[in-house]
Each structure stands twice: as structure tokens, then as C-alpha cells.
Chain A
Amino acid sequence: AQSVTQLGSHVSVSEGALVLLRCNYSSSVPPYLFWYVQYPNQGLQLLLKYTSAATLVKGINGFEAEFKKSETSFHLTKPSAHMSDAAEYFCAVTASGGYNKLIFGAGTRLAVHP
């Protein structure tokens, strides 16, 4: 079975600082991994995805994530945080045999302070 663990339900950074949101996964099949972002009072939006091509994946708004099979990790980073990055971030993995069925982590709320 597939599962996702996001370490840290809340992360707070200063504007301009590095953003690092952690995600570890468990999968019985080669995983497809995703990061989604949810801004207040909105639905989820795809930030980036790993689908077995390049292990370093670049997404929107300057975010990127690196797939590390040996560590079963897919951490999300951004070199310099902006106030507009404040949101909730969800890591997800596709379920085995389940096409676009996504298994989500519990989410990490990112706060950015001046």
C-alpha cells in the first residue's frame, strides 16, 4: 500500500529564507509523486510532479523537489521565500493500480514572516 508522511504540520520562515518542506513516501510500486498547494479558501493546485523522468523536478513559483529513492523522500524546496508562498502544501503519491487516485499527506502549513 502507498502512504505519505509529511514531517512538520507547521513550518515558519522569514521572507527571503530557504523553504524546505519534507515528504517521505512508502510505495509497493514505482511511485509517481506530487506536491500540491492550497491557498486560503481555495482548492488544491498542482505545484510539481515526478513521474520517473528527471529526479530533480522544477515547478511553478520557483519551487523544486528532488526524488531520492534510497531515502524514499521527495522534499520540496525554494531558495527564497516570498510572503505570497504562505499556504498549505500537500505531498501525494498515486495509489498502485489506481491511475489518478492520489494518496495525500496530512499537509504542511507554511507561514512566511517579514
Chain B
Amino acid sequence: ETGVTQTPRHLVMGMTNKKSLKCEQHLGHNAMYWYKQSAKKPLELMFVYNFKEQTENNSVPSRFSPECPNSSHLFLHLHTLQPEDSALYLCASSQDGGRRTGELFFGEGSRLTVL
């Protein structure tokens, strides 16, 4: 198994749909992240969880709802999205965020297209 696994790899949804992205890390890390990667824009940090507790919400619209049931799993629930939300959503994990190592381990991403 790879270190950080994201499913689905591709998702197409209408603006009224509800869907979820899933991330699972097999590295024993205790911090997990959601990043948004849009064309021609820097990666945007969306959420951070440390030991299952949300420690960062970077002013993300409420149509994105994260869930972290345990240190190994992270979800991003999506509802009533807009076409501009189409992007690559990257999940990452790191070993405790108490030290600034900066070494994040990324999944391959979920490519989301909103019609």
C-alpha cells in the first residue's frame, strides 16, 4: 500500500450533488491536511487536523465539510459546489506537527470537476 491513498481519483458532480473525498494514510502520522490545487494558482491550504482535532480552517466555504474520525482517515464532504471549485484536491499527512519539519507526504489527489 502506498503511504497516502486518496479515493476517488476522479469525480464529476453537479452543483446539487453531495459527494465525499476520502484519504487514508498508512504512515502512522498524526496530522492530516487538505490542500486545493487549481490551475495557475498556488496550492491553498484548506484544513489541518492534529490528533483528530481541527487546528486550521483557512476560511474555507461551508460547502466543504471535513471530517477526521481518527488519525488515519480524513474526509472532505462536498455539497452544492460551484464550477470554480473544480480542482485537484490533495491530502497530506505528517508526523507530529509539534516540530517544523515541513515534510508532508501527499496522496495523488482527487480531480474534481463540478458541472
Which residues of A are in contact with B by a Cβ distance under 8 Å? 4, 9, 32, 34, 41-46, 49, 51, 90, 92, 94, 98-107
In the complex, what residues of A have CB within 8 A of residue B56's CB?
Answer: 98, 101
Known: A90-B43, A101-B48. A43 touches B102 (CB 8 A): no
Known: A43-B109, A101-B56, A104-B42. A49 touches B90 (CB 8 A): no
Partner of B108, one of A34, A41, A46, A102: A41
CA distance A57 to B56 in the complex (A): 30
Known: A99-B98, A100-B94. A45 touches B42 (CB 8 A): no
In the complex, what residues of B have CB within 8 A of residue A45's CB?
Answer: 106
By secondary structure, the B interface counts as loop
CB distance from B34 to the nearest CB of A (A): 12
Evaluate contact between B41 and A106: CB separation under 8 angstroms: yes
Beyond A100-B102, A104-B42, A107-B42, 8 additional contacts (C-beta under 8 Å) are A43-B4, A43-B108, A46-B102, A51-B100, A51-B101, A90-B43, A94-B100, A101-B56
